[in-house]
Amino acid sequence: MKKKYKGTVALWRLFAHSDVTRPEYYTEDDFKIYKEILIETDSIYQNNGKSTGRAKSSGGAKYVSMISNIWKEINEKKRPITKPTTKPIGEGLRQYTDDRIEYRYIDNMKQLTDRLQLIAAEERVGNNNYHNEKLGILHLCKTSMEKIIDTPKGIEYLLLCVTNLPKEVVKISKDSIIKNIYFISNDERKGNNIYHDEKLNILNICIR
């Protein structure tokens, strides 16, 4: 990045600390520079890579009240003006038609599994043009998991994700991850609910 910025205490605090959401910690100019640096250096993206098309998301206060709003601004600028064919129910998964204007929503698990089976069948006969759609499905699964990660079912689903991962996907031992999940589960039953970020890290191993 060629542009240089003058460092301030507030600006350093924005980058270095997670508990900086109160407005008295920084000025409007500090936040403007902070936002600009996040975008210009691709630091807002997962793995600092714009090509991922995904934000570094977490459930922390800093992400929820600050970074998520920056991410929304980025997406608003990229979003095409489109008219849905049907009213979306829930979060859904956008599936674009050939005209690239209208789109329909997949809003339940049966539709999703049916669609995946269709994609699998198409790819078996050589139609390999579903890359973006599969990434969209992964993103939907990940964001859905993030919303329930701290519920009792969340840890069960996380265990299922890891258990069913192909060994080629993970670079570290699946057994060690599974042991860690069991440890977290047992500790949370005792009331130690301090593992939010660690569970998100495990989820990121499953779905990058």
pLDDT in tens, 158-187: 888 888 877 766 666 778 888 888 999 998
Q: Domains in the chain: how many in total?
A: 3
pTM beyond 0.75: no
Examine residue 89 and state whether it is found in any structural domain, yes or no: no
Instruction: Give the residue numbers spanning the domain of 193.
Output: 148-207
Query: From the centroid of its chain, how far is CA 51?
Result: 14
pLDDT at 87 over 50: no
Examine residue 51 and state whether it is found in any structural domain, yes or no: yes
Query: Residue 64 gets which letter from DSSP?
Result: I
CA distances from 23 to 49, 62, 68, 104, 107 (A): 29, 12, 16, 40, 38
Query: From the centroid of its chain, how far is CA 203?
Result: 10
Residues in the chain: 208
Regarding whether 18 and 72 lie in a shared domain, the answer is yes
Examine residue 114 and state whether it is found in any structural domain, yes or no: yes
- List of residues 6+ apart from 59 with CB closer than 8 A: 146, 149, 150, 196, 200
Examine residue 179 and state whether it is found in any structural domain, yes or no: yes
For residues 112 and 124, the answer to whether their CB atoms sit within 8 Å is: no
pLDDT at 89 over 60: no
Q: Identify the residue with better confidence: 41 or 172.
A: 41
Q: Over the stretch 90-141, which tens digit does the pLDDT of each residue have?
A: 444 444 444 333 334 555 677 778 888 888 888 888 887 888 888 878 888 8
Regarding whether 130 and 106 lie in a shared domain, the answer is yes
Q: Identify the residue with better confidence: 56 or 41.
A: 41
Examine residue 104 and state whether it is found in any structural domain, yes or no: yes
